Structure 1
Amino acid sequence: MNWIIFIAVICLAAVSAAELYTDRYDDLNVDEIMQNKRLMDAYMNCVLGKGKCTAEGKALKAHIQDAIQSSCAKCTEKQRQKSRKVVNHVRANEKNYWQQLKTKYDPEEVYKSNYETFLANND
C-alpha cells in the first residue's frame, strides 16, 4: 500500500513539474534590460509583434497570453518574481508599452483582475 502512495506522489510531482514553463531563461538579467532603453524597446517590440525576437523574447511571447490568463500558474518562482518586477516597471515607467500590452493581450480587460492580483501578491 505504501508503494502505491509513493508512486502516486512521484507521478503527481512529475506531472506538476512538466506543466511549468521552461526554466532555461530564469537567469536572464531583467535589471539590465529595464535599465537599457534599446533592450527594453527590442523586447517590447518582440512581444507586441512589431519587431524581431531573441530566443528569450520568443519564449516570452509564446507564453505571455497563458501567463496573463492563469496568473502565471505555470511560472517558476524566479519567473513570478521577475515578471512582477518587469511588469510593475513597465506600468510605472513605460506607460505607452503598458497600454499596448493590455490592448494586445487583454483588450476587453477580461483578465485584469487576474494580473492585478498577481502583481500585488508577493508570494
Structure 2
Amino acid sequence: MKAIVCVCLFAVVAVTVARPNEDKYTTKYDNVDVDEILKNDRLFKPYSDCILDVGKCAPDAKELKSHVKEALENNCGKCNEKQKEAVRKVIKYLINEKEEVWKKLVEKYDPDHKYSQKYVDELKELKQA
C-alpha cells in the first residue's frame, strides 16, 4: 500500500514539475538581444515576416508569434518584467521607426484598435514626460 502511495505522490510531483507555468510565458528566450535585432534590418525582417505570416518562423519567432494576440489583449499579463521591458522597447521602435510594420501588426492582431491604441497613447505620454 505504501508503495502505491509513493508512486502516486511521485507521479503528482513529476507532472507538476514538468508542466510549464501556464500563468507565465516561457523564459527560454529572455536573453535574446532585442536591441541588436531592432537595429539590424537583416535580423528584424524575419521576425516581422514570421509574425505577419509572410515568412518562415525560427523557433523563437514562432514562440513570440504564438503569444502576440494574447499579450496585446491582456497588457502582457503573462510576461515577466524582462519581457515587459522588451515589449515596450519593440512597440516604441515599431511606432517610431517601422510604422508600416506596426500598422500591419495592428491590422492583423487588433483590427478594431481595442488594444493597440493604448500603447500609442502610452508612448505619447512618455514623450511628454
| Structure-1-length-normalised TM-score | 0.78
Equivalent of residue 116 in structure 2, options 100, 112, 116: 112
Asked if 1:59 corresponds to 2:63, the answer is: yes
- Structure 1 residues 117 and 67: alpha-carbon distance in aligned structure 2, compared to 1, 3 A threshold: farther
- Equivalent position to 1:95, from 89, 92, 99: 99
Question: Are 2:21 and 1:21 aligned?
Answer: no
Q: CA RMSD in A?
A: 2.1
Alpha carbons 1:90, 1:98 under 8 Å: kept = yes
Specify the structure having the higher radius of gyration (Cα).
2
Question: How many residues align structurally?
Answer: 106
One-letter amino acid of the counterpart of residue 71, structure 1: N
Percent identity reads 38
Contact 2:46 2:56 in 1 (8 A): yes
Could you tell me how far 1:98 is from its partner in structure 2? 0.6
Alpha carbons 2:25, 2:78 under 8 Å: kept: yes
Which consecutive unaligned segments of at least 5 residues does structure 2 have? 1-20
Between the aligned partners of 1:115 and 1:92, the Cα distance in structure 2 is 12
Residue equivalent to 1:73: 77
